[in-house]
Every structure is written in C-alpha cells, then in structure tokens.
Amino acid sequence: MRQKKVMIFSSVHPYDDTRIFHKQAVSLVQAGYEVELHAVADFEEKMEKGVRIVGVKRHAKKLKRLENGRILFERALNSGADIFHFHDPELLPWGARIAKKTKKPVIYDSHEDLPKQIHTKPWIPEMLRGPLSRIVHRVEKGFARQLAAVITATEPIAEQFRGAKNVTVVKNYPLPMPKVEREDNERNLILYVGGVSYLRGYREMIQMMDYIPAELRAELHFIGPLQHIAPQDQNEQELKQKNIYLHGRIPFDDVKRWLAKGKVGLVCLHPSQNYLESLPIKMFEYMAAGLPQIASDFPMWKEIIETSECGFTADPLNPEEIAEKVTQLLSKPKLHQKLSESGRRAHEEIYNWQVEEKKLLALYGKLLKER
C-alpha cells in the first residue's frame, strides 16, 4: 500500500515552529505518513527527523509575504500530496483554490482568534476595530467552509467556525518532557519564555523586580524574540543593573536547559480579548519542567492553575502583586517543592502532546478514509 503524503505549509512561521514541526509534522512521520513541510527557512531543502523541509523566504513586509502564498499554491499543485495542511489565515484563499483544483482534503490550522486579534492592533483606529473584526470573521469562516477540516488550538476559537466541516480542537500542549533534574543555583532565576511584547507584560515584569527583596538574589530572564519593544525599553546595560536579561530567540533544546535552571515561570499577559481564553504553551512547559508559575488571573487560567496546584495567579497589571507572589515561591522551599511536583503530575496526566496527537491522527485517518 502506497505511503500517504502530507504537505504542511506556512508563509509566516519558521520551519522549526514547535506546533508545526516538532509536534504535528514529526507525529505524522511517526504514524507512517510521508511529510513535506514548506515554511520560512534560510535554506532551500533538508531532511530533519524524517520530515522533508523546503524553505520559503522570510519577508518583513506583509505585501511581500503574499508572494509566498502564490509560490506555496504552485508547489501544492505539483506536490502529489494526498492531503494539505496550512497554518496562516492569509493562505485561506489559496487553500480554497487548492481544494477546488486537487479535489483532495485541505486543513486550515487556526492558532489564534483572528477576529479578537483585530481589537489588539494599535495601528487600526479604535472606531474601525469592531466593524473590521466582524468582516474578518465572515471572510475567515466563509473560506473555512470550503475546506475539508479546521483545526483550532482552543475551544473558543472552534466556536468561530460553526458550520465548517470537521472542526477539531488540537491543543498546543507540550511534548512529553523527561523529568527535569533541577539545577542547584544560588541565584533565583525568574523566567519568561515566549514572544516578548508590551501586551504580554514586558513593562510590568520589569517593574516587578523593584518589589522583590534584594536578599533573594532574583534575576529576571526573558527568553524569546522582542516584538515591537521600543529601543529605550531594551537598553541591556540598564536592565543588567536591575538583574534583568534579554536572550532573544534561542534553539528549541536550549529552552529545556533554561527551564531546569529556573525557580519561577511567568505568564502575565494583559487582559486583552485575544488572551483571555488562550492557552499559552509556556504555561504548560512550566508545568512539565516542574517550575511553579505566576499567571494572569483570567478565569480560565485561574481554574487551570488552581486545579493543577502549580502556582498562583495575579493581576497582570499590578507589578507589586506579581512580585508578592514570586517572593512567596522564592522564600518558601516546601511550598515551592509542593507546587513543582503538582505541576509535573498535571503534565504527565493531562497537559501533554500525546493526548492531542491522537486527535490529529484520528482527523487525518477520517479525511483520507472519506476520499
């Protein structure tokens, strides 16, 4: 029996994106599929973990990115793939054309609530955000209905696609992580892992350091790319004087080493519409690493943190309250150990990729069986 071929593609995400490559593509290879991944890379082609990766150019300007859509459309038609899976809303028109031309299953993977994202864009006049959000919702849903399936990262995003076929929630839980051997460290390392922006609490986390007692020898480490941070807010010399360090984007495997060094993880995103019902991967990576955390006090997050007993929640706009919770974790070793063990247990039993992988593979099996 011929091996089924999958073409996964993105015009925006780097080829080594954790959800796209390390989880979905690798899981499909392990399940017996031939997988070809087309995504942003600085090389033409290579094989990694059984996945054939074909690069597309990175374009900073959005209009130039549209060129990638045309290129990916042509590659799809010539790929010989049995099923297609794409990850960017800007590729929806191309996805619909691929479905029409090939008569093969096409999957749209929606990572974010696009209509709600419109409300967070400072460059869009506030009076236009509501009408534009509604237009975007109708357009996105209209194209999605022309496809074989929609995958979403959360249940609230899935609600946006009522009426589309085979809407499946595949959450972005971390890969099963071996138990981390925590490193003894005289310094108390506080970590933020992920994209760094003002809406994700950059300023408040920096201000938090002013309220943590000096005797705790705390350091704050930002691990992830800076996104629209003004130059005056990223002066590394000034930040180092406050024991704050910017590391930028680092290799996937290096993140695990930082998690082993850390004492507390932060996920203090602002209460914007796009974040209130999101499931940030960092929250679950902290659990997997046995790293107690402080998360924003959104109702959904509060329920996860409290039922998992893996940390505390705080008002993300209140640096003093965040600092008070961090100080508790750093100054009470028995409490820290208890929350560390509970978070690790929640990862092993509930919040891991193996649970979600089954949903992905079941959807693929269904779509290919229906052909």
- For the chain, which domains are there? 5-173+352-370 (3.40.50.2000), 188-349 (3.40.50.2000)
Pairing of strands 51-56, 106-110: unpaired
For Cα atoms 115, 283, 323, give the angle at the middle one, nearest 5 degrees: 105
Percent of the chain with pLDDT strictly greater than 70: 95
Tell me: the pLDDT tens digits for 66-101?
789 999 999 999 999 999 999 999 999 999 999 999
CA–CA gap between residue 219 and residue 188 (Å, rounded): 6
The CA-based angle 108-362-153, given to 5 degrees, is 40
122 band by pLDDT with thresholds 50, 70 and 90: low
Exposure on the CB side of residue 60, measured as CA atoms within 13 A: 2
Helix, strand, or coil here: 91? helix
- Summarize pLDDT for 234-273 with one digit per residue, the tens: 999 999 999 999 999 888 788 888 998 899 999 999 998 8
Handedness of CA 55, 110, 287, 236 (dihedral sign): positive
Q: Is the pLDDT of residue 212 over 80?
A: yes
Q: How far apart, in Å, are the Cα atoms of 144 and each of 148, 171, 190, 361?
A: 8, 19, 41, 20
